[in-house]
Chains A and B, each alone.
Chain A
């Protein structure tokens, strides 16, 4: 993974000093709340329902074991012994006190981490495919480009007071696991007719109140033009994006108002001015960054192992887990292991300090000391030899980290909701619990198979409900929590926004309603059809009828 040099370290250290000074000035009354607010947000610090919430950046989701141990340590020393992985591959602390935040940042800086631009109207953490570097369907590893974008966007002087937040995602695989098209800018690595690899650039995707799947505005962008083109998009947005209404300030609204073609034209004009200047990316720099992501020294005999199959034969529980939680690796004899943070009795994405330490140790022992956070709030060990899988599984189980539910109904995405977030209209964690309680039969869950439930506590859509196969949105009706359901959404290569099922349902009915939806699926499915396929084939009517029949 990328290692800081002196320059990177200096920037992060100076940022800590700057924020310490800003916090002190705020506490001394020299900065008003209004003046301090954007400054703290640019450092990922929210004031939430109970306490500040601090969001730590995990660039493209990649962590070293050392970094994860530090995150565990911080949760012990400054928080309540746990942390929460977000849907943007970041990590959140729910209970730090404001006065301690500069110290937390200083601790993070010792392991090459920070909270820069994890909130605020600036360019946020660039996200990517959790299986980057190892996926079979990958054209090229997207992470070097994410790192190049990270450096370019960090403390960008022109784009730190944008009309609204700005999110970029990059994927290098043919199957999109990074929800690229619901980002402000989404980049797919693609090959053109001459066999050269570059980017297909999508702009103006996003969820929230007005969800859009982003259109492509440039089907092939050469690598050397990556930064100049991003700069052109951002400049057009910074100049012409709306600032009068925060709900209309995202780039998707501008793209829509101008029309894709006109927007693309304005970007092109801007870009032609700067493309051959200092922004042009040297191949040397691409190679330098790429070298940090070179594959490890894989064991060429890893595939000779026979113990893995034998263990699956003899141990049903292991075999269930292996059937759900492994992802194919491009090197024979290796697997990526998805560690579920969706055990039935914990809020999705929460992890304790002990679990973090444990995962760090296991990463050292089995996976070259690296961990990846997924955008569905799990973590991955990307490089595990199949001969090690059984012992890894046993050790994961010791800390309740072996729930065999990846991709199943209980592998839900869920925002913090009313329990922690001051913007929430309704709880999401209690709904996750309700669903877990109702659907606890593993055989049933395996029978239902692949399904993505995504849940947000308000229209801001941090839980990406629009793109859930089943989306759940918390709404407030005269002070009572209700839930609006959508069906058929997807964030993947076939990105689609879900269709509204009907009127919102009462809190206590959510799990039952999901039960009815699944009944329809089970009745209608053909052969191995997954939920989304069945839904797309039969449409929403049958589901509507069943759910609202009795009322």
Chain B
């Protein structure tokens, strides 16, 4: 599927598993698993010779991931509705406080007009909602050329440049 990554639309072969089918073994390969399931099978999964990726919703506190940050190639942050802004704080915390260096992906109700803020909070890839034009959405990453406050993108408030 196509996602925006590092400011470009690219093909991406990660597969997002929204819900795990408990009757089957955990799928192999590049899968983004619900964090709770990943955690439950952590030891077994870590034995696999693959990259790891998880997604969390707003209810999961970022602190729950701390012991495992180094294992993740992607942490996906879910927006159940675009108005639910908790994941902005989660992104900031993961980047600024917990120094997570892997990919931070926005998933769920991800729309053009929120991408700029997502980017500022440290998200660097976006799975734009299916019915929306991804080529159109990418334009919004450049909506503003000036930022007043520090965030996870550039660390200084504008006044320091005045």
Contacts and interface: CB of A to CB of B under 8 A. Distances in A.
A156 B83 contact: no
B98 to A, nearest CB: 11
B113 A39 contact: yes
A238 B146 contact: no
A35 B147 contact: no
A238 B89 contact: yes
Interface stretch (B1-9, B27-35, B153-161): B153-161
Contact of B157 (A30, A152, A159, A162): A152
B160 to A, nearest CB: 8
Interface in B78-112: 82-86, 88-90, 92, 97, 111
27 contacts: A7-B146, A7-B158, A10-B145, A11-B146, A11-B148, A35-B82, A35-B111, A38-B82, A38-B83, A151-B149, A151-B158, A154-B148, A155-B144, A155-B147, A156-B148, A158-B85, A158-B88, A158-B117, A160-B117, A161-B88, A161-B114, A163-B85, A235-B89, A239-B61, A239-B89, A243-B84, A273-B97
B150 interface: yes
B85 A238 contact: yes
B138 interface: no
Chain A interface residue number, banded: 35 or more
A22 interface: yes
Interface residues of B, number: 39
B83 A161 contact: yes
A151 B150 contact: no
Contact of A7 (B114, B136, B151, B162): B162
A121 interface: yes
Given A39-B113, A238-B86, A157 B121 contact: yes
Given A14-B144, A38-B82, A227-B157, 20 more contacts: A7-B148, A11-B148, A14-B143, A15-B144, A18-B144, A31-B113, A35-B82, A152-B148, A152-B149, A155-B148, A157-B117, A157-B120, A158-B120, A158-B151, A160-B117, A161-B82, A161-B85, A161-B114, A163-B85, A238-B88
Interface of A: 5, 7, 10-11, 14-15, 18, 22, 30-31, 35, 38-39, 121, 151-152, 154-163, 227, 235, 238-239, 243, 273, 278-279, 282, 285, 288
